[in-house]
Amino acid sequence: MSALPKIRIRGLTKSFGSKTVLDGIDLDVEAGTSMVIIGGSGSGKSVLLRCILGLITPDSGTIEIDGENVLTASPARRNALVEQIGMLFQNGALFDSMSVADNIVFGLRAKGRGKAHRLSTAQAREQAGDILKQVGLDPSVGALAPSELSGGMQKRVGLARAIAGTPNILFFDEPTTGLDPIMGAVIDGLIVDCVKRLGSTAIAITHDMLSARRIGDRAAMLYHGKLVWQGLASELMDSGNAMVDQFTHGRKDGPIGMELRR
Amino acid sequence: MNLILDPVAAIGRAFLGIVRKAGALALFALAGLSHLLRPPFYWGVFFNSLIEIAFYSLPVVALTAIFSGGVIALQSYAGFAQYHVQSAIAGIVVLAVVRELGPVLAGLMVAGRVGAAMSAEIGTMRVTDQIDALRTLSTDPMKYLVTPRLVAGTLALPFLVLVADILGVLGGFTVSVSKLGFDPQNYIIATFNALKPLDVLVGLSKAAVFGFIISLMGCYHGYTSRGGAEGVGSATTAAVVAASILLLAFDYLLTDLFFAQ
């Protein structure tokens, strides 16, 4: 592990009206590791990722990438820092006005504009075919429209688009939601492969405990906008924290349930 | 006390809401236009939008113009025959079509067809995270989605109105000659005598403004839509209604500016 975390978050808060979604988050993600964030619906997981990506502006706190505060950086510098991040959205968020291949070419050209931007259309399409192979899809899938793909294939194409620009950081928003267990395992395997091959730092948010243990090196749990636990992902099922244990084992009774009944 | 203050407060709130909306719309338009000065410009999106607006709207605009020109000829004849001034019909048809009906009818047709489609497309992209995905792919959604459509709308409408002008006059000519017994040669001469280049230019200028308004409403309502399919549906309706009303309001203002004595 390097001394400087790849991503360092301190005192991050975000409220929507009277509802506090993030309440003083402190989180370090070391370079080359995968952090999994678990938590119930509405616990602030997606808002946290969107704050790091610059899609939502937090109320206070700092978000550092490679030691540089994204929130106070100049717009050009902020774009350069955020450009390192590739994102797999929960529903894939593929551009449905484009073919699968064009979605990947878009990812290829958008990031690292230097070399990829100069690729001819034929070269870019050939590279898109190679990237499709990396996520276990035949290059012929490139000719299809996103609406013609199954949920699992859409996730794979979303992953292909996210890794097309060889990002240093990868975010995964509930990557296995809506998939059958076998396809979930396939997607998790691809995510682990991609993260290792690219040497990227990853943050994944998920409800799926099996997926969390497969993807993550470390894990954290968000509850009511606070990080209530951090530890090794391998310890998720036996963390010793009552909230984490209740959540990971899906128990009806426990501190979280008692809060809900109030 | 409340009986007096409550209605005043309600009027005040509504007024502030309108001012807030107008401000947001103006800022949105400025943001969209400001990207014209900053590269890159997405030519692919621009040409696709241009084809969608200019080419695929041609049939509906053409049919509307032909029938409208024919109707004006018929209605004018019915009224003017009482005063034995049927010879003015060619001039009435061409001026009505070129100055008003061409731009307004083409604008309303395009607002219904293209404004709704733009709003639905961008709104769907909003609620399915595609706009956020653009941001994560280092692409400014305003630059990619809005600016090319604003330019395409502004350029496509004058072309459509030019077609509508020609076909509207043709519709009036066809009805006048085949049904009302006008001499074709005299009708054409009367048409050209009545028409001034300024009429065509003002009509096309109106069309450019209408095209900008239609694209702006489609993009704005789609971009700001919220709440899934229902939100996209509401945004689409709002885009068409707002574009139609603004189009007629600006038609009045521009007519007053150019033609009022």
Does residue A90 sit at the B interface (CB-CB below 8 Å)?
yes
To probe the interface with B, which of A65, A83, A84, A87 has the most B CB atoms within 10 Å?
A87
- A91 vs B128: CB contact, 8 Å cut-off? yes
**Shortest distance, CA B112 to any CA of chain A (angstroms):** 21
Q: Nearest CB to B137: which of A90, A96, A107?
A: A107
The residues of B whose Cβ lies within 8 A of any Cβ of A are: 121, 124-125, 128-130, 132-133, 135-139
Q: What is the CATH number of domain A1-84+169-262?
A: 3.40.50.300
Which residue type, as a one-letter code, is found at position A76?
A
More confident residue, A63 or A198: A63
More confident residue, B80 or A132: A132
**Shortest distance, CA A253 to any CA of chain B (angstroms):** 33
CA distance A195 to A33: 9
To probe the interface with A, which of B118, B131, B137, B140 has the most A CB atoms within 10 Å?
B137
Q: What is the pLDDT of residue A75?
A: 85
- Please determine, for residue A38, whether its predicted confidence score (pLDDT) is greater than 70: yes
- A110 vs B128: CB contact, 8 Å cut-off? no
- B135 vs A55: CB contact, 8 Å cut-off? yes
ipTM for the assembly: 0.87
Q: How many CB pairs under 8 A join A and B?
A: 47
- Please determine, for residue A165, whether its predicted confidence score (pLDDT) is greater than 50: yes
Mean pLDDT, range B224-244, rounded to an integer: 92
A114-153, pLDDT tens digit by residue? 455 567 888 888 889 999 998 888 999 999 999 999 888 9
A97-120, pLDDT tens digit by residue? 999 999 999 988 876 554 555 678
Give ∠ CA A49-A50-A51 in degrees, rounded to 5: 90
State the pTM of this model.
Answer: 0.87
A positions 189-248 inside 8 Å of B (CB): none
Residues of A in contact with B136 (CB under 8 A): 53, 55, 82, 85-87
| Nearest chain B alpha carbon to A164 | B137
- B136 vs A86: CB contact, 8 Å cut-off? yes
- Please determine, for residue A62, whether its predicted confidence score (pLDDT) is greater than 60: yes
- Please determine, for residue B249, whether its predicted confidence score (pLDDT) is greater than 60: yes
Three-state secondary structure of chain A: CCCCCCEEEEEEEEEECCEEEEEEEEEEECCCCEEEEECCCCCCHHHHHHHHHCCCCCCEEEEEECCEECCCCCHHHHHHHHCCEEEECCCCCCCCCCCHHHHHHHHHHHCCHHHHHCCCHHHHHHHHHHHHHHCCCCHHHHHCCHHHCCHHHHHHHHHHHHHHCCCCEEEEECCCCCCCHHHHHHHHHHHHHHHHHHCCEEEEEECCHHHHHHHCCEEEEEECCEEEEEEEHHHHHHCCCHHHHHHHHCCCCCHHHHHHHC
B27-60, pLDDT tens digit by residue? 999 999 999 998 889 999 999 999 999 999 999 9
Query: Which range among A102-116, B15-29, B71-85 shows the weakest confidence by mean pLDDT?
Result: A102-116
Residues of B in contact with A83 (CB under 8 A): 138
To probe the interface with A, which of B43, B134, B136 has the most A CB atoms within 10 Å?
B136
Q: Where are the domains of chain A?
A: 1-84+169-262, 96-167
**Shortest distance, CA B260 to any CA of chain A (angstroms):** 46
B175-213, pLDDT tens digit by residue? 999 999 899 999 999 999 999 999 999 999 999 999 999
A positions 95-134 inside 8 Å of B (CB): 95-97, 106-107, 110-111, 113
Q: Nearest CB to B130: which of A83, A93, A165?
A: A93
- A93 vs B133: CB contact, 8 Å cut-off? yes
- A94 vs B130: CB contact, 8 Å cut-off? yes
pLDDT above 90: percentage of residues in chain A: 43
